[in-house]
Amino acid sequence: MAGIKDVAREAGVSASTVSYVLSGKRSISAKTTDKVMAAVEKLGYTPDASARKMRGMRNQIIALSAPIRGDINQARYNAYFLRTAWAARNAGYDVMLLTGPDAVKDIRRVTQSNLADGIVLLDVEQDDERAAQSGTFSKPCVAIGYPSSHAGCACVDIDFALMGRKAVDFLYEKGHRTIVFLRNNESDYNRHSGYVVIFRESLLAHAKELGMTVIESEHYEADSFDAQHFVSTVFAHPDRPTAIINQANASVLSQVLMALHNAGMSIPQDVSVLSCGTYFEGEPTRFPITEMPVMPEELCAEAMNLLVSAIEEHTDIKGSVELIEPALKRRGSVAEAGSGGTI
């Protein structure tokens, strides 16, 4: 393990000169620079991260808190892991994964020991312990989500209340008056996963305002959804619905699409489908579905912006809230009610 002294000896200069050559904080003669760089190359020198942090420098590490709660299948958080890691790396940071069930303990461990320079909170619940405690963390903290108690951290989220209204408006303008709401699996509502609840309530409230009829799917647990049953039940309704707003995952929706197909219903000619709060980018779906997706890329990038500015410029981000306007990805699964034209 070659250190700065070894490089200095090899190059025939002092250790501080090597440091300055590498940092560029002092003008160094071309000749010295060459000698030093040659020695660095030869010895494969890389500064020791701990030693440099001892001198007050940062560690360039962001902690990503994604606690495993019970038996929840967290596959959908993968996009956030990867996007956070990507955004962090672009800003010169590495990402450390904190998945222990006692998230606050994990966060304290890595912040108090000065391992991490900042924290990103994932899978934020309405009533989130981490966000509530964030004021006492010794490093800046950003939540991807919108917990009720958030005075100690910044929040970045999609405006799911707005998404609910936009989804309803979108269908209403196309002439739809009776629609189906395909719920997520129950466990997500039970654990008060913030956005799942907010979107649903906003959707139902706004539909009511407009006088629309919303038929909600029955409750189901992750592995017990029966698409055939869902389709036959829902379309037996006296006011035959003309559209589906989906909040369930790709697997459940795939089954519904297949069931619709089997029941002889075409999309969007016979029924429009709009999926909200999902993320089908790159998913192998048989039919492309118009979507107001969650936006891991945008959220993680913005969260990282805030965090880095708090870390590097000591910007005060505590309590700030940034709600991103939901986007609509048109993929042709929504049409005028009763018509055959696609949108």
Partner DNA sequence: TTGTATGCGTTATCAA
Partner DNA sequence: TTGATAACGCATACAA
Interface residues with DNA (CB under 7 A)?
A: 1, 3-5, 12-17, 19-20, 22-23, 25-29, 31-32, 45-48, 51-52, 54-57
Q: How far apart (Å, rounded) are the C-alpha atoms in residues 225 and 223? A: 6
327 binds, among DNA, a second copy, none (CB under 5 to 8 A by kind): none
CB of 81 to DNA, least distance (A): 30
Q: How far apart (Å, rounded) are the C-alpha atoms in residues 48 and 144? A: 32
The answer to the question of residue 61 lying near a second copy (CB under 8 A) is yes
The tally of CA atoms less than 13 A away on the side-chain side of residue 61 is 16
Per-position x/- string for 136-175, each x denoting binding to a second copy as judged by CB under 8 A, each - no binding: --x-------------------------------------
Of 20-28, 252-260, 309-317, 318-326, the window that binds a second copy (rule: CB under 8 A) is 252-260
71 or 313, CB closer to a second copy?
A: 71
Of 13-21, 42-50, 211-219, 232-240, the window that binds a second copy (rule: CB under 8 A) is 42-50
112 binds, among DNA, a second copy, none (CB under 5 to 8 A by kind): a second copy
CB of 35 to DNA, least distance (A): 8
Q: How far apart (Å, rounded) are the C-alpha atoms in residues 119 and 233? A: 46
81 binds, among a second copy, DNA, none (CB under 5 to 8 A by kind): a second copy
Q: Which of 22, 204, 259, 265 binds a second copy (CB under 8 A)?
A: 259
Q: Which of 15, 22, 28, 82 binds a second copy (CB under 8 A)?
A: 82
The answer to the question of residue 250 lying near a second copy (CB under 8 A) is yes
The answer to the question of residue 185 lying near a second copy (CB under 8 A) is yes
Contacts of residue 151, Cβ cutoff 8 Å, sequence gap at least 6: 135, 318, 319
The answer to the question of residue 233 lying near a second copy (CB under 8 A) is no
Q: What are 160's two structure tokens?
A: 């799911």
The answer to the question of residue 71 lying near a second copy (CB under 8 A) is yes
40 or 300, CB closer to DNA?
A: 40
Q: How far apart (Å, rounded) are the C-alpha atoms in residues 121 and 141? A: 7
Q: Which of 5, 12, 26, 68 binds a second copy (CB under 8 A)?
A: 68
Q: How far apart (Å, rounded) are the C-alpha atoms in residues 135 and 151? A: 7
Q: What are 253's two structure tokens?
A: 């929706």
14 binds, among DNA, a second copy, none (CB under 5 to 8 A by kind): DNA
The answer to the question of residue 265 lying near a second copy (CB under 8 A) is no
5 binds, among a second copy, DNA, none (CB under 5 to 8 A by kind): DNA
Which residues form the interface with a second copy (CB under 8 A)?
1, 44, 46-51, 53-54, 59, 61, 64, 68, 71, 73-79, 81-82, 85-86, 89, 94-100, 108-110, 112-115, 138, 185, 222-227, 249-252, 254-255, 258-259, 262, 282-286
